[in-house]
Amino acid sequence: MPDARVPASGTVHWVGAGLSTGSGLARLCDTAARVRLWHRTERRAADALDRLGLTGRAAPRAYTPDALTAELAPGDVVVSMLPATEHAALLAACVREGAHFACSSYVSDAVLEQVPAAGAAGLTVLTEAGLDPGIDHLFAHSLVGRAREAVGDDTPAAYTLTSYCGGVPAVPNDFRYRFSWAPAGVLNALRAPARYIEDGAERVTERPWEATRRHDVDGETFEAYPNRDSVPFVGQYGLPEAWRPDTFVRGTLRLDGWLDAWAGVFEELRAGDDARIAALAGELARAHPTTDADRDRVVLAVSLDVRGEKGRSWSGSCLLDLVGDAEESAMARCVSRPLALGVRHILDGSLPAGLHRSAGTAARSEEWLRELAADGVRFTQHTDT
């Protein structure tokens, strides 16, 4: 029988140095015994370390699956910043070599299939530990935990939970958007159906933007639409069975006016095939480039309102609103720092073997939120009882 958990070796392999690799990597250089940054070429990895002020603190490597596997040792931690479609292959290599695995992406079916083998081998698999998914989970668990204490699990109640996140330009532009990840990914996300709960019933929209609503955050009006499948998160967030969802939506925030500014893009999405959408992504990247002078803004707003019987009601909200600076984009900070925090918990042995989606309980989420606040990821929490 294997040990309950393979002890962490102290070596972290950070794979990929794209737009979301930020100061979280520096935090790991402060705590891990050894950090290796893997990128397309060793030169590009070295350039990324120089940009982050980490030259000499992490070792640059040219990434290929075979090259990474050759350096893996039992107890190492692999952090994947690669596209989600590549996570399963990386996790398979980790299972073979006895290494732990972490990423900021949603759990795919291909990753889930390997979780039993990873857990049996004593390995930790940390997922959904970035911004969205990631910090949004922490906010939701915190709110649900506090609401359960106030209202009670067995008290019949109706609730509304909304969780909206968006990366937008700090200074609004005519396009009402700033690409903080690959345009192809943005477009394909808009082509994917969304399932959510509204007026007490499950709804599906094949074109998420067609379900866009006005949404006020701290006195500012945004546009918001559902994305992916919100419904499984009712169970993941531990909402009591005695509570009935009136509204449960996880979605995306955009600046007011985005729907009109993107009208031409939506026409292309309705009519275009895969080849046309791929070409459109390139056109948008060229037409709306991100420059060093640009500043991005991340807004994450999660709120929960519970209306129970006999006056046992509760409402609360969490808001993260961060603008990037010359050293780092807001998106890179908000993705890389919670991911690095999770990796630090793998290194210190406090995350058991098996699958973890960020911090999966209210108590654990409160702990992570305190640590993130101390690490410079600022947010506000508000409660009305």
* Catalytic residue of the set 30, 76, 132, 384: 132
Of 223, 204, 205, nearest in space to 213 by CA: 223
Instruction: Give whole-number Cα distances, 140 to 168, 197, 276, in Å.
Output: 22, 16, 38
Integer-rounded Cα Rg, in Å, for the chain is 21
Size of the chain in residues: 385
Q: What is each CA distance from 2 to 93, 99, 357, 377, in whole angstroms? A: 18, 14, 23, 38
- Asked if 359 and 365 count as a contact pair (C-beta separation under 8 A), the reply is yes
Q: Do 315 and 304 contact (CB within 8 A), yes or no?
A: yes
Tokens found for residue 160: 């509304």
Q: Name the nearest CA neighbour of 337 among 367, 300, 372, 366.
A: 372
> Residue 176: what residue type?
R
Active site residue 174: no
Beta bridge partners of 317: 303, 382
> 201-205 and 194-198: which strand pairing?
antiparallel
334, 130 Cβ separation under 8 angstroms:
yes
Active centre residues (catalytic): 132
